[in-house]
Amino acid sequence: MWVVALAERFWADVGGPAGFPRDLETLAPFAASLMVVERPNLRVKSVVEYLTPRGVPVNFAEPDRPLRAALYCWKGAGYVFLDPADPSDERRFSFAHELAHFLRDYAAPRRQVERALGPAALDILDGLRPPTTDERLHAVLRNRPLTPHSHFMSRDPAGRPQGENERRAEADADWLAFELLAPAELFHTDTDRSQIESRLVAEFGLPAAVAAEYALLLLPPAPPIAGWIAGLRDGNHIG
């Protein structure tokens, strides 16, 4: 339900859902403090080289590698790094994925902490100061973590998210990106996965590989026991 709730909040902030295919890059500034930064041949090094001269502290030490896209947040704002050479469908999903990270992993925790402890506590999340004893106590009582924001850029040699937190965050961001670009409720009557994939590409502007992944989530394969029971009903199994 959190996916639908965050998507609904986003559309409320921008004045209502847009038509398809959706241009979230144009709409997002109405709901989030995001700046798009284009860097050809985007890499980890590109992110560091852009942020450092602008006085934005870079608090991760990842080996340099190519990136499809990246998000870096500080003091309530975010920089979305994109490669200008990417096709429009890839860029559409890349931006949606990074926007989803912003909404889910950055903006939502900040709102919760601010409501529970007041705006001064946001300095703790930004790593500008440690929490006071009183703030620690209130955070524990309200179950609100007061650790600075984390990054989810760690990857194994094959380029896959390295830890459980990274894997969960990436999967959650994909889910929210899917919902923002092509709400699941629009497919509740579809029964053919290949047709869902075709719709996702033609109507919603998703890349083919992404469409295949989402279609599998929308219409997962039936478990083996379900097929066996169906076969019994059809008289195909005798025992």
Whole-model pTM?
0.84
Q: What is the pLDDT of residue 27?
A: 92
Q: Say if CB 34 and CB 204 are below 8 A apart.
A: no
Return the structure tokens found at 21: 């295919």
DSSP label of 39: -
Q: What is the pLDDT of residue 23?
A: 94
Q: What is the pLDDT of residue 222?
A: 76
Q: What stretches of the chain adopt beta strand conformation (E)?
A: 34-38, 69-74, 77-82
Largest CA distance in the chain: 74
Torsion of CA 218, 219, 223, 227, to 10 degrees: 160
Return the structure tokens found at 143: 């179950």
Domain boundaries, the chain: 2-162, 182-239
Q: Say if CB 232 and CB 217 are below 8 A apart.
A: no
Q: What is the pLDDT along the chain (239 residues), one digit of tens a residue?
A: 899 999 999 999 999 999 999 999 999 988 888 999 999 999 999 999 999 999 988 877 788 999 999 999 888 889 999 999 999 999 999 999 999 999 998 888 888 888 878 888 887 777 777 777 777 766 665 666 656 555 555 665 656 666 777 888 899 999 999 999 999 999 999 999 999 999 999 999 999 999 999 999 999 987 766 555 555 555 554 44
Q: What is the pLDDT of residue 133?
A: 77
Q: What is the pLDDT of residue 138?
A: 66
